[in-house]
Amino acid sequence: MSETKVPYKIYLEESEMPKSWYNLRADMKNKPAPLVNPGTGKPLTAEELTPIFCEELVAQELDETTPFIEIPEEIRSFYKMYRPSPLVRAYCLEEKLQTPAKIYYKFEGNNTSGSHKLNSAIAQAYYAKKQGLKGVTTETGAGQWGTALSMACAYLGLDCKVFMVKVSYEQKPFRREVMRTYGASVVPSPSETTDVGKKILAEHPGTTGSLGCAISEAVEAAVKNPGYRYVLGSVLNQVLLHQSVIGLETKTALDKYGIKPDVIIGCAGGGSNLGGLIAPFMGEKLRGEADYRIIAVEPASCPSFTRGTFAYDFCDTGMICPLAKMYTLGSSFIPSANHAGGLRFHGMSTILSQLYHDGYMEAVSVEQTSVFEAAEQFARVEGILPAPESSHAIRVAIDEALKCKETGEEKTIVFGLTGTGYFDLVAYEQYNNGEMTDVIPTDEDIAASVAKLPKVE
Ligand X SMILES: *Cc1c(COP(=O)(O)O)cnc(C)c1O
Residue in 99, 210, 252, 273 binding ligand X, rule: CB under 6 A? 273
In 3D space, the residue among 200, 52, 236, 48 whose CA is nearest the CA of residue 137 turns out to be 52
Q: Which is nearer to ligand X, 6 or 363 (CB)?
A: 363
What character string, x for contact with ligand X (CB under 6 A) and - otherwise, covers 224-253? ----------x-------------------
Helix (H) or strand (E) holding 229, with range, is strand 228-230
- The yes or no reply on residue 61 touching ligand X (CB under 6 A) is no
Q: How far is the CB of 269 from ligand X (least distance, A)?
A: 3
350 near ligand X, judged by CB under 6 A: no
The alpha carbon of 3 is separated from its chain's Cα centroid by a whole number of angstroms, namely 32
- Give the separation between CA 87 and CA 106, rounded to whole angstroms: 4
- Which residues lie below 8 Å from residue 112, measured CB to CB, with a gap of 6+? 147, 151, 178
CA 36 → CA 46, 151, 152, 270, 329, distances in Å? 12, 32, 30, 18, 18
Residue whose CB is less far from ligand X, 128 or 142? 142
User: Which member of 250, 332, 390, 449 binds ligand X (CB under 6 A)?
Assistant: 390
Binding mask 418-457 for ligand X (x = CB under 6 A): xx--------------------------------------
- Answer for which of 25, 102, 106, 117 binds ligand X (CB under 6 A) is 117
Binding of ligand X by 295 (CB under 6 A): no
SS3 content of the chain, % helix, strand, coil (to 5): 45, 15, 40
3-class DSSP state of 115: strand
Asked if residue 300 binds ligand X (CB under 6 A), the reply is: no
- Of 99 and 237, nearer to ligand X (C-beta) is 237
- CA-wise closest residue to 33 among 354, 274, 272, 453: 354
Q: Does 119 bind ligand X (CB under 6 A)?
A: no
Candidates 139, 313, 389, 400: give the one binding ligand X (CB under 6 A): 389
* Residue 212 touching ligand X (CB under 6 A): no
Binding segment (CB under 6 A) for ligand X, from list 47-55, 85-93, 206-214, 385-393: 385-393
φ and ψ at residue 100, rounded to 5 degrees? -75, -10
Yes or no: say if 203 and 317 are a contact pair by the CB < 8 Å rule.
no
**In this structure, are residues 360 and 286 in contact, taking their beta carbons and an 8 Å threshold?**
yes
Tell whether residue 343 is a contact of ligand X (CB under 6 A): yes
- The only residue of 321, 387, 404, 453 in contact with ligand X, by rule CB under 6 A: 387
For residue 122, give every residue at least 6 positions away whose Cβ sits within 8 Å of its Cβ, in sequence order, or none: 75, 78, 79, 152, 155
Q: Which residues bind ligand X (CB under 6 A)?
A: 115, 117, 142, 144-145, 234, 267-274, 342-343, 387, 389-390, 418-419
